[in-house]
Chains A and B, each alone.
Chain A
Amino acid sequence: MLQKKFGDLTGWISYTLSEAKNRISIYGDSYFPASQDVTHEFKFVGMYDFRNWSFSLTWLFASGRPYTAPDGAYSVNLINGTSQMFIDFGDKNSSRLPAYHRLDAAVNYHFKNRETNNEWGSLGLSIFNVYNRRNIWYKEYQIIDGNILETDKLFLGIKPNLTFSMKIK
């Protein structure tokens, strides 16, 4: 980790390399990636102060998390004459979601007392996920007309936020 604490420009950069594995008997004798296994994680946080303004930029990157993907489907006829389809899944956590990354930005204007220079409030605009990255949270599977339909469930996309704060005392 590298950090700069002083001056108008401050912030930090960090990188983490990790590995998390599980071995659970119902899934076999071998180790498999844990659901929270994130191999690479990179974070950048930068802040800049200019007069009554403050700016911040955050960029996060993380390797895709493991998940268990289906490897096929089949149908079975029941005793009532109807047919039911099932999805069969592959090895536990043997697939990886795409990498997660997003950029957050914020700008704040600080209202200050002219005489005392004490801050009495601030008005800020922040944008979560500036470039609207489609980060996948999990996948959902359905059988429609004999085919497996895969749907990506996403984290939040681009989200602007306007905030105003005021000190009462």
Chain B
Amino acid sequence: MKTKLFFLSLSAWVLITSCQKSGIAEFSSLPVVESYLAPGKKINLMISEKIPYNESEGTADTSVNTLDISVGYNGVYYNIIPLGNGIYSDTAGNVSVIADSTYTLLFMFNGSHVYSSTIIPPRPVGVTQSATTIKMSQIDPESQSWFDMPDPVEITFSNDDQSYYLVTVVCIDSVRVPVYKDSIPENDIYSSMPVTGTQINIMPMQLSYFGLNRIILYHINPEYATFFTQQASTSQNYQEPPTNIENGLGIFTGINADTLFLNVVQEK
């Protein structure tokens, strides 16, 4: 009896351990679209491919350089010309990007229709800037110069529909003196998080360089705002990456902007 029980258990063990499934997900090749439509600018797109997690997986049968891409506006589709390296451009300027207009993207990739649609937001209105010049000392992290900071620069604007806005700040001065002593900024451009209010504050310690800085206030769509959400990535709590591309990944979105300037003067 004991012998039979032993061999029964052993057989069960062999049966159970021989039935384990593979832990590798099957790769699905999808195009990655990157396109920002802005009024007054030609339509440009960047198409790339997803990199497989498993190195032995192959890539798509369709090349990203030979796609037949069309952008639709007002019921008419216009071909976008491939320039190589996945870059496509409306070089002839056939499509005018106009605020409050809707544009669609359409092409075939690996036998699937890739589609997207976006609307061009209106230009920011009612834009004011609390200061065009600020004076501050160079920040030495080891000293107490933190307490002598000027007030934040307040960028205010009208936002009746509570849509998304963000700012970027970049130094355009030919002479670049870093705001932080003895350090080279990791990013030349400061970018705020998207907001649905009517004000964005630029803190002096968020600036990278003294001199003339260009502030761009962007009016963006919700599909772009989702890119700023941190992607949770565990097998228990994963999030699909944000995208507004059907049968694809990436972003096809309209943007509009207003430009301001801020002179950051170094106090000696």
Q: Which are the 10 A-B pairs with shortest beta-carbon distances?
A: A90-B25, A86-B241, A80-B191, A67-B235, A72-B50, A69-B25, A139-B235, A71-B25, A141-B233, A138-B236
Distance of A96 Cα from B23 Cα, bound (Å)? 5
Most chain B CB within 10 A, of A42, A67, A69, A86, is at: A86
One of B11-19, B114-122, B202-210 contacting the partner:
B11-19
Q: Which residue of A lies closest to B28 (CB)?
A: A71
Distance of A90 Cα from B24 Cα, bound (Å)? 9
Question: Given A40-B19, A74-B49, A77-B46, A90–B26 Cβ distance below 8 Å?
Answer: yes
Distance of A17 Cα from B250 Cα, bound (Å)? 42
| 0 or 1 for each of B217-241: is its CB under 8 Å from A? (1 = yes) | 0101000100100010111101011
Which residues of chain B have C-beta atoms less than 8 A from A99's C-beta? 16-17, 20
Which residues of chain A have C-beta atoms less than 8 A from B105's C-beta? none
A144: interface (CB < 8 Å): no
Q: Which residue of B lies closest to A79 (CB)?
A: B36
Q: Which residue of B lies closest to A93 (CB)?
A: B235
Smallest distance from the beta carbon of A79 to chain B beta carbons, Å? Answer: 6
A119: interface (CB < 8 Å): no
B251: interface (CB < 8 Å): yes
Contact A138 B51 (CB under 8 A): no
* Chain B contacts with A in 183-221, Cβ cutoff 8 A: 187-189, 191, 218, 220
- Size range of the interface on A? 35 or more
Pairs A–B under 8 Å by Cβ, sample size 13: A13-B9, A42-B16, A63-B20, A73-B50, A74-B48, A76-B227, A78-B191, A78-B227, A88-B30, A90-B28, A95-B21, A138-B234, A140-B233
Question: Given A40-B16, A63-B20, A138-B235, A86–B249 Cβ distance below 8 Å?
Answer: yes
Which residues of chain A have C-beta atoms less than 8 A from B9's C-beta? 13, 44
A163: interface (CB < 8 Å): no
Distance of A142 Cα from B232 Cα, bound (Å)? 10
Which residues of chain B have C-beta atoms less than 8 A from A75's C-beta? 32, 48
Interface residues in B, total, Cβ within 8 A = 51
Smallest distance from the beta carbon of A126 to chain B beta carbons, Å? Answer: 23
Distance of A37 Cα from B84 Cα, bound (Å)? 47
* Chain B contacts with A in 1-43, Cβ cutoff 8 A: 9, 12-13, 16-17, 19-28, 30, 32, 34, 36
| 0 or 1 for each of B39-73: is its CB under 8 Å from A? (1 = yes) | 00000001011111110010000000000000000
Smallest distance from the beta carbon of A62 to chain B beta carbons, Å? Answer: 9
Contact B28 A76 (CB under 8 A): no
Distance of A142 Cα from B234 Cα, bound (Å)? 9
Question: Given A74-B50, A79-B218, A39–B227 Cβ distance below 8 Å?
Answer: no
Distance of A72 Cα from B30 Cα, bound (Å)? 10
Most chain B CB within 10 A, of A42, A61, A72, A138, is at: A72
Q: Which residue of A lies closest to B48 (CB)?
A: A74
| 0 or 1 for each of A30-73: is its CB under 8 Å from B? (1 = yes) | 00000000011010100000000000000001011001111111
Which residues of chain B have C-beta atoms less than 8 A from A118's C-beta? none
Contact B23 A77 (CB under 8 A): no
A131: interface (CB < 8 Å): no
Contact A74 B189 (CB under 8 A): no
Contact A68 B238 (CB under 8 A): yes
Most chain A CB within 10 A, of B34, B46, B238, is at: B238
Distance of A151 Cα from B234 Cα, bound (Å)? 9
Which residues of chain B have C-beta atoms less than 8 A from A40's C-beta? 16, 19
Q: Which residue of A lies closest to B188 (CB)?
A: A81
Contact B20 A98 (CB under 8 A): yes
Distance of A111 Cα from B17 Cα, bound (Å)? 42
Which residues of chain B have C-beta atoms less than 8 A from A78's C-beta? 191, 227
Contact A86 B26 (CB under 8 A): no
Distance of A140 Cα from B238 Cα, bound (Å)? 9
Which residues of chain B have C-beta atoms less than 8 A from A74's C-beta? 32, 48-51, 241, 249-250
